[in-house]
Structure 1
Amino acid sequence: MTPHDTPFLAPPEEYGDFDAARAVVVPFPYEGGVSYGLGTGDAPQAVLEASQQVEFYDEELDGEPYKVGIATIAAPPIPADARHMLALLERTTDELLNQGKFPVIVGGDHSISSAPMRSVFKKYPDMGVIQFDAHADLRETYDDSPLSHACVMARAREMTPHTLQLGIRSMDVEEARLIRREKLAVATMRQLRQGLFDLPAALAALPEKVFVTVDVDVFDWNVIASTGTPEPGGMGWYEALDLLKMIFHTKHVVGCDVVELSYRPHDANSPYAVAKLIHKMIGYRFAASIPPA
């Protein structure tokens, strides 16, 4: 795979080598599935550039996550057709998983997520999906497309019944009825804040291996402002990190993505926050392997 000319974090060369790396960052600038604000196509490059300002040292982990090896590959030419796009990303994820890598997909809009999910499902048929998102994304179709970003969890549930949705605060009535009818594990932001959702029990009900998908509109605007479908009342930075740390500690996360950042030239904070988030997730995934400072 071709290395990217703007590597995530820009670690020392030996730690960015693909063959030795345990984590591989995959920028995937597709935004054909959006329904409102644009800018997700330019987001991966903005995140990579911002990441080079992130300190290597993580004070919580008391170590430098890059030392487990973090490679960054160049995005291939991405087809405009959604099905061809998904097939390309699925093949890319297949290759990474088959080489024992931890894939970190950087979108791009949320419609891309069904591709790495399907790749993980092929390798680990008993898998779960954990979604951080403001939106339920359980629609069968949206804007006449089953591959819209508003349908990604409907596509996930075609692969596995084991899903957990966190931070939800926007859905239509049909999604609400589906959640009630099928007793889906959905934690709204209000339920999380008021202690009305039993997260340890929900995690225990999932398989050991999970894929984590983070739509950045799960965050409050004071953390990440630039996203295509914003919703007020989102997660704070440490709220999200506490949840992610619990997930990575209790489950075997086999891949993840971070999607729906919208690049806006006037907002340097949001890409930096996404870069820092990815750094934290890689750190949590490999916490036991990071040499102490």
Structure 2
Amino acid sequence: MSTTNNYAGIPDQFAQLETAKVILIPVPYDGTSTWGKGADKGPEAFLKASENMELYDIETATEPYQQGIYLADAITEDSSPEAMVNEVHKTTKQYIKRNKFVTLFGGEHSVSIGTIRAFNECFSNLTVLHIDAHADLRESYDGTKFNHACAVHEASQHTNLIQVGIRSMDVIEKTYMDEEKTFFAHDMSTDEYWVDKVVDLMTENVFITFDLDALDPSIMPSTGTPEPGGLFWYETLEFLKQVFEEKNVVGFDIVELCPNAVDKSSDFLAAKLYYKMLSYKFMGQSIDETYDNTYDVDLKSGNSNISKFEEDED
């Protein structure tokens, strides 16, 4: 067990807000899940697993932590789903405006509503790459539009949403789905060119929201709503690496880890996935190279897209 409060127990010199290129925001929220509970314990399990992970990435021959990773205070607002989303939105946007590479670890998928909103206000012509077993396109569910089942509804209306790995949905979600930009798991299993097709549909700026139930439950059983027929480890990494190589990934979140006391393998997979994504982001950048993640110039001039969501910022 690490004696520090830093991500993965990294030395203090790599964990300072002022110099870190990466921000990691935990969001231990599980207020709208409808079957398996426990996503609020996901960030803690992820961080504990990260402390026991080797920090040298063999594939890229890099140590991503040396870019600097600042572990932000957890967002614990849980008075209502809307209040949580608003807090995630506000906090995420504050760190983006500090020119950081912002990442979040949930929590259930409703946290991504606030995350995506912040990134869409800060980056022009944003693609949201939604990797998930479920479509999550409902306009509202259980009396709120801030439900995990609505995680990318707003993105479907205001961003270039591309969905990958989908294998479970309600018929009402077809109303909001762009099937030309939806890659169903059963089709992906027989299409050797699906990765290239996904990348070709992307704009330059890409935000990734990764629901861990996109992965097959044989390698990721600890999720709230596991579905058979999911992605496997190396095909997932190959896909992600190509996205990072060919596009400007501006940030990402990972959600829906529901840890259990018996099997820690899912916690460790989540920790490795996060670190692999960082390795792909920074694999061509030296440690002392200044990070440039320039956000939408309209935001700098005060003419951001914030009005379309009618959100007030402090």
Q: TM-score, normalised by structure 2?
A: 0.86
User: Does 2:207 align with 1:211?
Assistant: yes
Provide the C-alpha distance between the structure 2 equivalents of 1:46 and 1:90, rounded to a whole number of angstroms.
24
Provide the C-alpha distance between the structure 2 equivalents of 1:135 and 1:183, rounded to a whole number of angstroms.
14
Answer yes or no: is the 8 Å Cα contact 1:187–1:197 preserved in 2: no
What SS does the corresponding residue of 2:254 show, helix, strand or coil? Answer: strand
Provide the C-alpha distance between the structure 2 equivalents of 1:37 and 1:80, rounded to a whole number of angstroms.
21
Q: What is the CA deviation profile of residues 239-277 of structure 1, one whole-angstrom value per residue up to 9, with x for unaligned ones?
A: 111111111111111110000111212121111110110
Provide the C-alpha distance between the structure 2 equivalents of 1:76 and 1:171, rounded to a whole number of angstroms.
29
User: Does 2:26 align with 1:27?
Assistant: yes
Provide the C-alpha distance between the structure 2 equivalents of 1:184 and 1:36, rounded to a whole number of angstroms.
30
Q: What is the CA deviation profile of residues 86-108 of structure 1, one whole-angstrom value per residue up to 9, with x for unaligned ones?
A: 11111111111011111110000
Which of residues 269, 282, 289 is equivalent to 1:273? Answer: 269
Return the letter of the residue paired with 1:207. Answer: T
Matches within 5 A, 1:154-169: 154-160=153-159, 162-169=160-167
Residue in 2 aligned with 1:246? 242
Residue in 1 aligned with 2:173? 175
Answer yes or no: is the 8 Å Cα contact 1:163–1:184 preserved in 2: no
Provide the C-alpha distance between the structure 2 equivalents of 1:144 and 1:197, rounded to a whole number of angstroms.
40
CA 159–64 in structure 1, closer or farther in 2 if over 3 Å, else same? same
Q: What is the CA deviation profile of residues 148-187 of structure 1, one whole-angstrom value per residue up to 9, with x for unaligned ones?
A: 1111121211321x111111111122224653xx444111
Provide the C-alpha distance between the structure 2 equivalents of 1:50 and 1:290, rounded to a whole number of angstroms.
27
Provide the C-alpha distance between the structure 2 equivalents of 1:43 and 1:66, rounded to a whole number of angstroms.
21
Q: What is the CA deviation profile of residues 187-245 of structure 1, one whole-angstrom value per residue up to 9, with x for unaligned ones?
A: 11121121176432432232211110000001112221110011011111111111111
Matches within 5 A, 1:57-72: 57-72=56-71
What SS does the corresponding residue of 1:229 show, helix, strand or coil? Answer: coil
Provide the C-alpha distance between the structure 2 equivalents of 1:36 and 1:7, rounded to a whole number of angstroms.
32
Which of residues 167, 172, 191 is equivalent to 2:187? Answer: 191
Which of residues 250, 253, 278 is equivalent to 1:257? Answer: 253
CA 152–20 in structure 1, closer or farther in 2 if over 3 Å, else same? same
Percentage of pairs with the same residue: 35
Provide the C-alpha distance between the structure 2 equivalents of 1:6 and 1:224, rounded to a whole number of angstroms.
27
Provide the C-alpha distance between the structure 2 equivalents of 1:223 and 1:45, rounded to a whole number of angstroms.
20
Return the letter of the residue paired with 1:251. Answer: K
Provide the C-alpha distance between the structure 2 equivalents of 1:80 and 1:240, rounded to a whole number of angstroms.
35
Q: How many residues align?
A: 285
Answer yes or no: is the 8 Å Cα contact 1:64–1:290 preserved in 2: no
Matches within 5 A, 1:137-156: 137-156=136-155
Provide the C-alpha distance between the structure 2 equivalents of 1:197 and 1:173, rounded to a whole number of angstroms.
27
Residue in 1 aligned with 2:281? 285
CA 196–66 in structure 1, closer or farther in 2 if over 3 Å, else same? closer
Provide the C-alpha distance between the structure 2 equivalents of 1:60 and 1:290, rounded to a whole number of angstroms.
16
Answer yes or no: is the 8 Å Cα contact 1:24–1:103 preserved in 2: yes
Return the letter of the residue paired with 2:247. Answer: K
Provide the C-alpha distance between the structure 1 equivalents of 2:14 and 2:191, rounded to a whole number of angstroms.
41
What SS does the corresponding residue of 1:288 show, helix, strand or coil? Answer: coil
User: Does 2:96 align with 1:97?
Assistant: yes
Answer yes or no: is the 8 Å Cα contact 2:25–2:72 preserved in 1: yes
* Structure 2 spans left out of the alignment, 5+ residues: 288-314
Provide the C-alpha distance between the structure 1 equivalents of 2:286 and 2:228, rounded to a whole number of angstroms.
36
Answer yes or no: is the 8 Å Cα contact 1:168–1:218 preserved in 2: yes
Which of residues 219, 223, 233 is equivalent to 2:219? Answer: 223
Provide the C-alpha distance between the structure 2 equivalents of 1:178 and 1:25, rounded to a whole number of angstroms.
31
Answer yes or no: is the 8 Å Cα contact 1:7–1:48 preserved in 2: no
Provide the C-alpha distance between the structure 1 equivalents of 2:275 and 2:185, rounded to a whole number of angstroms.
24
Q: What is the CA deviation profile of residues 99-137 of structure 1, one whole-angstrom value per residue up to 9, with x for unaligned ones?
A: 111111000000010111111111114101001100111
Answer yes or no: is the 8 Å Cα contact 1:68–1:289 preserved in 2: no
Provide the C-alpha distance between the structure 2 equivalents of 1:130 and 1:76, rounded to a whole number of angstroms.
23
Answer yes or no: is the 8 Å Cα contact 2:26–2:75 preserved in 1: no
Q: TM-score, normalised by structure 1?
A: 0.92
